[in-house]
Amino acid sequence: MTQFSDDASVAILAYPGVQMSAVLGLADLFMIASGNSNRADGPELTVTQLTLPASAKSNDYDAVILPPNLTGARGEDATDILRWLRNQHATGTIMCSVCAGAFWLGHAGLLSGRPATTHWALEGEFRAAFPDVELAAEHLLVDDNDIVTAGGLMAWVDLGLFVVNRFLGPQTVSQTARHLLVDPGGREQRNYRSFRPPLGHGDAPVLKVQHWLEAHCETEISVKDMAARSHLSPRTFLRRFKAATGYTPIAYLQNLRIEKARGLLERTRIPVNEIGWRSGYADPSAFGRLFLKATGLTPGEYRGRFGVQS
């Protein structure tokens, strides 16, 4: 069994606009975990809250965490912070981020060619800013050894437990998770992800088809049918639809159908097979496979986690 014998130091960056509930929550989580570990004669985590650049120190930390940001800032002009992050990483520090905190790591040049995640709603913006990053926005947490990134605003809990596991061990993770009544693992962002059709692109024929699909997505629809609705040739329609929405017409339709199914699973007690049919899938097994691929859960599991209680 792996022994965890050395204390570790963690810096939490309270940069301008940071989500302070995450900063304080992480500090509390690490305090609870350290107490659990200490009672078993194990190591502890020393936590430092930094408000860079004013409080930047020369200390080398075992891990640095960039929590979420609530202001829309992305850190591209935070020269002192970005330089400090690069210097810390060069000393062997594990660099961690949650949600939009990944933008700071990206602008520091630490994610180039590396796998990472961020909040699913920031996927388009992140890909545009860092096209050379292997973004996996469907995952809640991506562990790439010295770079660890987590997804949504509350994913600081998942990252915190990951750090506890890394430095204090799985037994302390289990004790801490039970104390906090949180799930120590098994979640993915795609469990929560919603399809948000882009509607502000300004292409009227494409928008007309999108509105039609909203009302008729459960019916059998081909690209030829969509092109006819747009009064464009199929080739022109394909090109303009992809340019306006970022999706091929078939991929868009599949996303729309899965989103319709999500809503029915969440709000109703309609049988799963009927929900598949209402969403455009005559074959229940095909519906189940596609839903699992899109969400990471079977329709029944999704209803059990997010559905109304009868």
Q: Which helix (H) or strand (E) holds 215?
A: helix 204-216
Q: May I ask the CATH class of domain 204-306?
A: mainly alpha
Per DSSP, the chain holds a count of helices (H) and strands (E) of: 13, 8
Backbone angles phi, psi at 150, to 5 degrees: -125, 160
> Are 8-191 and 204-306 in the same CATH fold?
no
**pLDDT, tens only, 165-210:** 999 988 899 899 989 988 777 777 888 777 888 888 999 999 999 9
Regions of the chain where pLDDT drops below 50 = 1-4, 310
pLDDT in the model for residue 5? 57
Fold (topology level) of 8-191 = Rossmann fold (3.40.50)
Angle between helices 156-168 and 170-180 (to 10 degrees): 150
Beta-sheet strand order (sheet of 63-66): 45-50, 8-13, 63-66, 94-98, 147-150, 141-144
Domain range summary for the chain, segments of one domain joined by +: 8-191, 204-306
Instruction: Name the phi and psi angles at 115, rounded to 5.
Output: -75, 145
Omega before 53 cis (within 30°)? yes
Burial class (CB in 10 A: 0-12, 13-18, 19+), 195: middle
What's the pLDDT score for residue 67? 97
Task: Give the ranges where 169-203 is alpha helix by DSSP (H).
Answer: 170-180
Provide φ and ψ at 66, rounded to 5°.
-105, 105
- Tokens 């809990």 correspond to 157
Predicted confidence at residue 116, as pLDDT, reads 94
Q: Measured between alpha carbons, how far apart are the two ends of the chain, in Å?
A: 45
CA distances from 281 to 134, 272, 275, 306 (A): 32, 11, 9, 21
